[in-house]
Amino acid sequence: MNLTRKSILLPLFIGVLLIVLAGCGERDKETHIATSVRDHQVKPPVDKPAEELLSTQASFIEVSQKVTPSVVNISAERVRSSGEMAPFFDNFFEEFFKNHPAVPRKEKSLGSGVIISEDGFILTNEHVVRGAEEIKVKLSDQRVYSGTVVGSDPRTDVAVVKIDAGEALPAAVLGDSDGLKVGQWALAIGNPFGLDRTLTVGVISATGRANIGIEDYEDFIQTDASINPGNSGGPLLNIYGEVVGINTAIVAAGQGIGFAIPINLARLIANQLMENGEVSRGWLGVSIQAMTPELAESFGLDKVNGALVNRVFPGSPAAQAGVKRGDILLSFAGKEIRGVRELQLLVANTPAGKTEPLEVLRDGRKLSLSVTVTEQQTQTADEKAPPVKKMRQGITVAPQEGGEGVLVVEVDPQSSAAEAGVRAGDVILSVDRQDVRDPAAFDRAMTEAQKKHNVVLLIQRGDSTIYLAIPLS
């Protein structure tokens, strides 16, 4: 009986022992993790990375090390009354809280900035410090100073903040944004989501971005270097470590789409803010609109560029220079005008009193004029015009009181003119640049225009005037 029990237990004991030993062996295998020490014992998977990768990596490291000390974290604080609500909530809660005093509460916004002078001037975005009652600036070595807004410009989203550190600060080197090319490396340093001095890398995706609807004057650099909330006001750099832009906005619905203010524009605004505390802009005194393919063809242009003048303000610099309604502005200060936004930016950035050459196209001939820019006053003349729409015939006109133009009294709802947005109440001032003063003159001009592919109407709508090119085919 005992022999039988031993014959059973012995194999069972041996089996358990083998299982335990096997488990130990598995654990021994798991703890042996291959670790690269870059020596003859264990080599990395890629023994010799491409020299181009190593040099690029070294460049990124060097840019980060050299420029990061110039990047600051900006914390702006303002006090808002708890009673500041939307009108709907004000009305709704008025009966409940009208006898209770409003309790102030603090709001903080975080952003970035870049030191541009050793004595403590810092370039950032206007929206970072907007309405701030207290500003704290943290340097890369964690020292914190109180900041003062020297000046700000909401129309370009540029602001300058000053701190007094009592010693020379590491100032960044500003580059030249006019020479940027699509495809160049772009590095952004900032404080996204409060994460101090984060470096992201990408390329210049586009230059001269406008009509985005962020600011009044837009000439953005587009980059796919990651920009997030908190990056605003921080520098966009080239591989030389030069600041070529000030990061300012992102497209919330898309990834890899960020915008930066070109440093040449930011520097121009910053200089005025540091010297005068405010920005003065040049003014030409015209109302302009964008060219369309139809308008370009009608005016004899081989490409869609320039800005079409639909109004010249009396006594303005443009009027004194000889600019007339119907002129196409082709270049200003020696720079080609590709569109309305570009001309607005060029003129606005021209110091008041400076005389610049202006090239115009009039009746198929190029003319060279000289215009002396004056300081832009309050919005007496918006240099933008309503968008041009395609339209065709379908208009009934009547005499216009005052003798200038003909009044549109009816638009056939089934006509292409109605589809294009022509409205009753519009005043047609000219047809193919020929003034019309009565319905008969309008009919004659339209009949003559049938020989062409397009007819150009000058329409007045309220205080605005616009040219419209109507396809006749």
Active-site positions read 127, 157, 232
C-beta separation of 184 from 204 below 8 A: yes
Q: How many residues does the chain have?
A: 473
Q: What are phi and psi of 390, to 5 degrees?
A: -70, 140
Please list the residues that pair with 399 across neighbouring strands. 406
- How far apart are alpha carbons 110 and 233 in whole angstroms? 10
- Could you tell me the two tokens for 75? 């914390």
Please give the torsion angle defined by the CA atoms of residues 371, 372, 373 and 379, in that order, rounded to the nearest 10 degrees.
-80
CA 422, chain centre distance (Å) = 32
Using an 8 Å Cβ cutoff, are 185 and 203 in contact?
A: yes
If we measure between CA atoms, which residue out of 433, 425, 428, 424 comes closest to residue 452? 433
**3-class SS string, 80-142:** EECCCCCHHHHHHHHHHHCCCCCCEEEEEEEEEEEECCCCCEEEECHHHHCCCCEEEEECCCC
Report the C-alpha gap between 314 and 309 in whole angstroms: 14
Distance CA 352, CA 383 (A): 17
The one-letter code for the residue type at 2 is: N
CA-derived radius of gyration, the chain = 33
C-alpha span between 243 and 246 (Å, rounded): 8
Q: Are 128 and 76 in contact (CB under 8 A)?
A: yes
Structural contact between residues 350 and 282, judged by C-beta atoms closer than 8 angstroms: yes
Query: How far is it between the farthest Cα atoms of the chain?
Result: 133
Round to whole Å and give the CA distance between 132 and 233: 15
Q: Of 110, 55, 67, 121, which Cα lies nearest the Cα of 243? A: 67
